[in-house]
Amino acid sequence: MAASTKPLILSILKEGKSYGYLIIQKVKDLSGGILEWSDGMLYPVLHRLEKEGYIESEWMISENGRRRKYYSITEQGKLELIAEKEDWLSVQAVLAKLWGILPTE
């Protein structure tokens, strides 16, 4: 389910700028190793989100001389995240009912 990439990426970037490789690590980390994204899957999504204006990028050189493309969320991206969150929680609420579990807050 790669449909979850959008809210996940936007949510991560809302916490501060990050770059492709680190985002993959972060997702793996937060999920306890369950979610393992490939780079070939992520980069096209980042490019698309940038093209759509939800995130923006800037090249930077890290301490060790490695080049990285840092992404940050835009104002438009923050609005989009709010909409994505609403959508997600709507579905989540229905599934929670069907599965007999508590809805999130």
In degrees and rounded to multiples of 5, residue 19 shows phi and psi of: -135, 165
22 binds, among a second copy, DNA, none (CB under 5 to 8 A by kind): DNA
Helices 39-51 & 20-30 angle (0-180, nearest 10): 110
Q: At closest approach, how far in Å is the CB of 17 from DNA?
A: 11
Q: At closest approach, how far in Å is the CB of 10 from a second copy?
A: 9
15 binds, among a second copy, DNA, none (CB under 5 to 8 A by kind): a second copy
- 35 versus 70: smaller Cβ distance to a second copy: 35
Contact 16, 68 (CB under 8 A): no
Q: At closest approach, how far in Å is the CB of 2 from a second copy?
A: 8
User: Which amino acid does the sequence have at 85?
Assistant: K
Q: At closest approach, how far in Å is the CB of 105 from DNA?
A: 26
Quick one: which segment of 7-15, 64-72, 78-86, 94-102 binds DNA (CB under 7 A)?
Answer: 64-72
- β strands within the chain, DSSP E: 18-19, 55-61, 67-73
Tokens 């923006």 -> residue? 56
Gap between the Cα atoms of 37 and 19, Å rounded: 14
Among 33, 67, 75, 98, binds DNA (CB under 7 A): 67
